[in-house]
Amino acid sequence: MKQLITFLLLITLVSCSQEPPVNVKLTGPIFGTGFNIQYYTEGNVNYSEDIDSLFMQVNRSLSTYMADSDISKLNRNEITTIDSHFKRVFEASKLIYRTTEGVFDPTIGNVVNAWNFGAEQNKFLTDSTTIDSLMRYVGFNRVGIKDFIVKKPKTSYLEFNAIAKGYGIDVIAEFLESKGVTNYLVDIGGDLRVSGINIESDKGWTVGIDDPNYDGTQSYSKVVVLLDEAMATSGTYRKFKTDAKGNKYAHIINTKTGYPTKTNILSVSVIAEDCMTADGYATAFQAMGLNKAKAFLEIHPELKAYFIYEDATKTLRTLLVNNFPE
């Protein structure tokens, strides 16, 4: 009986010594914006060095802003062999390319550069001769991959900037899960992926969706609670060019014409299982326009979307599709 009491006492002492999970918060610059990572762990384990290393790996593979990255070398036809990060993003991009019938096309990069929205800063080009000549080389169907070898025309230029940020978020989320972390939020520039709950509030992760403010201020009129999912937002109200005549050109290029997309959509947020998928489709829906995006979503219930757009009278409207959270 004495031994039993001693054993029960030990269990009680061990149980009392267990501290509640610690909410580790990490912030910093990445991908031309900033990251905010929160995760609950026992023992206050800090994974900042591992996360920085993963960010560097993704950049070295996919950043067109780095001259020595794999994608930059590939675009200069210096290499053909790529790593697993590149392969995963390539294959996901190919799927979205096919599903959207070419609306999402990573070979539009040189045209994006010509409009001064990409990594290579050229002069502001809008003449039809230049655009037409660059559009001759657009077509993701002409680029393939076998094992870890990319086969492409020498004139093709690849850019995964419309999906790479979402992929970077997924990489960090997968790393945290590999360490047994089940409650986390990974946010880069407003795109994010969450798992479990925010233990401090004892509910899912509460996040805001930016209002489309042209003046650069930040406000939220839409707040949602996410559980085990990812969300990415694409907006035309912050990244645009203005020519000498005062015309505004949105940064999302129509892959069929080579000119900036004309759309009444100011912002679209997409919820998907992973952030790479949400990121890619958010860009595609901007390019599609509201009616085509709605038709697309009718046959893709696995994607949830929230649109902020202007109606014919320039009045702001919102639309929730496929049970996007109220």
Q: What's the rounded Cα separation, in Å, for the pair 187 and 272?
A: 15
- What does the pLDDT profile of the chain (326 residues) look like in tens digits? 444 444 444 434 344 446 789 999 999 999 999 999 999 998 889 999 999 999 999 999 999 999 999 999 999 999 999 999 999 999 999 999 999 999 999 999 888 878 777 665 555 555 778 888 888 899 999 999 999 999 999 999 999 999 999 999 999 999 999 999 999 999 999 999 999 999 999 999 999 998 887 666 777 879 999 999 999 999 876 555 555 555 556 667 888 887 887 778 889 999 999 999 999 999 999 989 999 999 999 999 999 999 999 888 989 999 999 999 98
Taking the domains of the chain in order of start, what are their residue ranges? 22-321
Which residues fall within 8 angstroms of residue 127, CB to CB, at 6 or more apart?
A: none
Which residues fall within 8 angstroms of residue 31, CB to CB, at 6 or more apart?
A: 55, 59, 63, 164, 165, 168, 188, 189
Q: Which residue has the tokens 């800063």?
A: 121
Token duo for residue 18: 């267990």
pLDDT computed for residue 277 by the predictor: 98
Q: Which residue has the tokens 């014919």?
A: 312
pLDDT computed for residue 10 by the predictor: 40
pLDDT computed for residue 218 by the predictor: 77
pLDDT computed for residue 142 by the predictor: 96
Name the fold adopted by 22-321.
T-fold (3.10.520)
pLDDT computed for residue 7 by the predictor: 41
Around 12, how many Cα atoms within 13 Å sit in the side-chain half-sphere?
Answer: 6
Cα–chain-centroid distance for residue 271? 11
Q: Which residue type occupies 27?
A: T
Rg (CA), the chain: 22
3-state secondary structure of 271: strand
Which residues fall within 8 angstroms of residue 86, CB to CB, at 6 or more apart?
A: 61, 62, 70, 71, 150
pLDDT computed for residue 321 by the predictor: 98
